[in-house]
Amino acid sequence: MKILVLNGPNLNRLGIREPAIYGSDTLQDIELACVEWGKSVGATVECHQSNREGVLLDWIHEAESSGFGGIVFNAGAYTHTSIALRDAIASIDIPVVEVHLSNTQARERFRHRSHIAAVCVGQIAGLGKEGYRAAITFLAGRG
Ligand code: DHK
Protein backbone atom coordinates (compact mmCIF):
# COMPACT_ATOMS: atom_id res chain seq x y z
CA MET A 1 0.00 0.00 0.00
CA LYS A 2 1.06 3.59 -0.66
CA ILE A 3 0.51 6.02 2.23
CA LEU A 4 0.65 9.81 1.92
CA VAL A 5 1.93 11.77 4.92
CA LEU A 6 0.81 15.40 4.73
CA ASN A 7 1.98 18.18 7.02
CA GLY A 8 0.45 21.64 7.03
CA PRO A 9 1.49 25.14 8.04
CA ASN A 10 4.50 25.82 10.24
CA LEU A 11 5.48 22.16 10.47
CA ASN A 12 8.48 22.97 8.30
CA ARG A 13 9.67 24.88 11.40
CA LEU A 14 9.90 21.75 13.57
CA GLY A 15 13.17 21.49 15.46
CA ILE A 16 13.41 25.25 16.00
CA ARG A 17 9.73 25.94 16.68
CA GLU A 18 8.68 25.78 20.38
CA PRO A 19 10.64 22.55 21.04
CA ALA A 20 9.09 22.16 24.52
CA ILE A 21 5.75 21.64 22.75
CA TYR A 22 6.67 20.08 19.42
CA GLY A 23 9.93 18.28 20.25
CA SER A 24 13.42 18.66 18.84
CA ASP A 25 13.06 16.54 15.71
CA THR A 26 13.01 18.37 12.42
CA LEU A 27 10.33 17.65 9.83
CA GLN A 28 12.98 15.85 7.79
CA ASP A 29 13.75 13.60 10.80
CA ILE A 30 10.06 12.74 11.10
CA GLU A 31 9.60 12.20 7.37
CA LEU A 32 12.62 9.87 7.20
CA ALA A 33 11.24 7.95 10.18
CA CYS A 34 7.84 7.70 8.47
CA VAL A 35 9.43 6.16 5.37
CA GLU A 36 11.23 3.58 7.56
CA TRP A 37 8.09 2.84 9.60
CA GLY A 38 6.25 2.36 6.34
CA LYS A 39 8.85 -0.14 5.09
CA SER A 40 8.57 -2.09 8.36
CA VAL A 41 4.85 -2.64 7.75
CA GLY A 42 5.09 -3.20 4.00
CA ALA A 43 3.96 0.28 2.94
CA THR A 44 5.52 2.89 0.68
CA VAL A 45 5.35 6.28 2.37
CA GLU A 46 5.54 9.60 0.53
CA CYS A 47 5.71 12.86 2.50
CA HIS A 48 4.76 16.43 1.63
CA GLN A 49 4.49 19.68 3.57
CA SER A 50 2.91 22.98 2.60
CA ASN A 51 2.07 26.24 4.31
CA ARG A 52 -0.69 26.79 1.72
CA GLU A 53 -4.22 25.53 2.20
CA GLY A 54 -4.88 25.21 -1.54
CA VAL A 55 -1.81 23.06 -2.07
CA LEU A 56 -2.96 20.72 0.73
CA LEU A 57 -6.43 20.60 -0.88
CA ASP A 58 -4.92 19.58 -4.23
CA TRP A 59 -2.84 16.79 -2.67
CA ILE A 60 -5.92 15.43 -0.88
CA HIS A 61 -8.01 15.54 -4.08
CA GLU A 62 -5.32 13.77 -6.09
CA ALA A 63 -4.30 11.17 -3.50
CA GLU A 64 -6.56 8.32 -4.58
CA SER A 65 -5.89 8.69 -8.31
CA SER A 66 -2.17 8.84 -7.49
CA GLY A 67 -2.48 5.39 -5.95
CA PHE A 68 -2.51 6.21 -2.25
CA GLY A 69 -4.57 3.96 0.01
CA GLY A 70 -4.60 6.31 2.99
CA ILE A 71 -3.42 9.66 4.30
CA VAL A 72 -1.75 10.64 7.58
CA PHE A 73 -2.57 14.31 8.03
CA ASN A 74 -1.24 16.90 10.44
CA ALA A 75 -3.11 19.97 9.24
CA GLY A 76 -1.41 22.23 11.80
CA ALA A 77 -3.48 25.30 12.64
CA TYR A 78 -5.76 24.66 9.63
CA THR A 79 -7.21 21.86 11.77
CA HIS A 80 -8.97 24.51 13.82
CA THR A 81 -10.02 26.81 10.98
CA SER A 82 -10.45 25.06 7.66
CA ILE A 83 -13.85 23.96 6.46
CA ALA A 84 -12.30 23.61 2.99
CA LEU A 85 -9.93 20.89 4.23
CA ARG A 86 -12.83 19.21 6.03
CA ASP A 87 -14.82 19.16 2.80
CA ALA A 88 -11.85 17.86 0.81
CA ILE A 89 -11.43 14.91 3.20
CA ALA A 90 -15.17 14.23 3.04
CA SER A 91 -14.95 14.19 -0.76
CA ILE A 92 -12.47 11.31 -1.02
CA ASP A 93 -12.92 7.59 -0.49
CA ILE A 94 -9.61 6.72 1.18
CA PRO A 95 -9.14 6.90 4.96
CA VAL A 96 -7.46 9.90 6.58
CA VAL A 97 -5.93 9.76 10.08
CA GLU A 98 -5.61 13.11 11.87
CA VAL A 99 -2.31 13.45 13.75
CA HIS A 100 -0.95 16.10 16.08
CA LEU A 101 2.40 16.06 17.82
CA SER A 102 1.07 17.90 20.86
CA ASN A 103 -1.97 17.12 23.00
CA THR A 104 -4.26 19.76 21.56
CA GLN A 105 -6.90 19.11 24.24
CA ALA A 106 -4.40 20.14 26.93
CA ARG A 107 -3.61 23.45 25.21
CA GLU A 108 -5.49 26.67 24.39
CA ARG A 109 -9.25 26.42 23.90
CA PHE A 110 -9.02 27.35 20.23
CA ARG A 111 -7.04 24.14 19.65
CA HIS A 112 -9.74 21.95 21.20
CA ARG A 113 -11.97 22.07 18.14
CA SER A 114 -10.97 20.15 15.04
CA HIS A 115 -12.95 20.82 11.88
CA ILE A 116 -11.51 17.68 10.28
CA ALA A 117 -11.97 15.13 13.09
CA ALA A 118 -15.49 14.10 12.10
CA VAL A 119 -14.45 13.17 8.56
CA CYS A 120 -11.26 11.35 9.56
CA VAL A 121 -11.25 7.68 10.61
CA GLY A 122 -9.51 8.66 13.84
CA GLN A 123 -7.36 11.17 15.64
CA ILE A 124 -4.01 10.79 17.41
CA ALA A 125 -2.70 13.69 19.50
CA GLY A 126 -0.01 14.12 22.12
CA LEU A 127 2.22 11.17 21.24
CA GLY A 128 4.83 13.24 19.42
CA LYS A 129 6.25 11.62 16.31
CA GLU A 130 5.03 8.23 17.55
CA GLY A 131 1.59 9.38 16.45
CA TYR A 132 2.74 9.22 12.83
CA ARG A 133 4.03 5.68 13.37
CA ALA A 134 0.72 4.59 14.89
CA ALA A 135 -1.22 6.12 12.00
CA ILE A 136 1.01 4.47 9.37
CA THR A 137 0.75 1.09 11.12
CA PHE A 138 -3.03 1.43 11.31
CA LEU A 139 -3.43 2.38 7.63
CA ALA A 140 -1.04 -0.36 6.45
CA GLY A 141 -3.05 -2.86 8.46
CA ARG A 142 -6.25 -1.86 6.66
CA GLY A 143 -4.68 -2.24 3.24
C1 DHK B 1 0.49 21.64 15.04
C2 DHK B 1 0.21 22.95 14.90
O3 DHK B 1 0.90 23.71 14.06
C4 DHK B 1 -0.83 23.61 15.71
O5 DHK B 1 -1.42 24.68 15.05
C6 DHK B 1 -1.88 22.63 16.19
C7 DHK B 1 -0.34 20.73 15.85
C8 DHK B 1 -1.24 21.42 16.83
C9 DHK B 1 0.49 19.61 16.45
O10 DHK B 1 0.48 19.40 17.66
O11 DHK B 1 1.17 18.90 15.70
O12 DHK B 1 -2.75 23.27 17.09
As for how many domains the chain has, the answer is: 1
Domain that holds residue 130: 2-142
Distance 77 CA to ligand 1 centre (A): 6
Distance 2 CA to ligand 1 centre (A): 25
| Residues assigned a catalytic role | 22, 100
The CATH number given to whatever domain includes residue 25 is: 3.40.50.9100
pTM for the predicted model, two decimal places? 0.98
Distance 102 CA to ligand 1 centre (A): 7
Ligand 1 pocket member 74 (CB < 6 A):
yes
Ligand 1 pocket member 70 (CB < 6 A):
no
Task: State the DSSP string of the chain.
Answer: -EEEEEE-TTGGGTTTS-HHHH-S--HHHHHHHHHHHHHHTT-EEEEEE-S-HHHHHHHHHHHTTTTEEEEEEE-GGGGGT-HHHHHHHHT-SS-EEEEESS-GGGS-GGGT--SSGGGSSEEEESSTTHHHHHHHHHHHHH-
pLDDT in tens, 111-138: 999 999 999 999 999 999 999 999 999 9
Q: What is the mean pLDDT of residues 18-24?
A: 96
* CA-nearest residue, atom 5 of ligand 1: 77
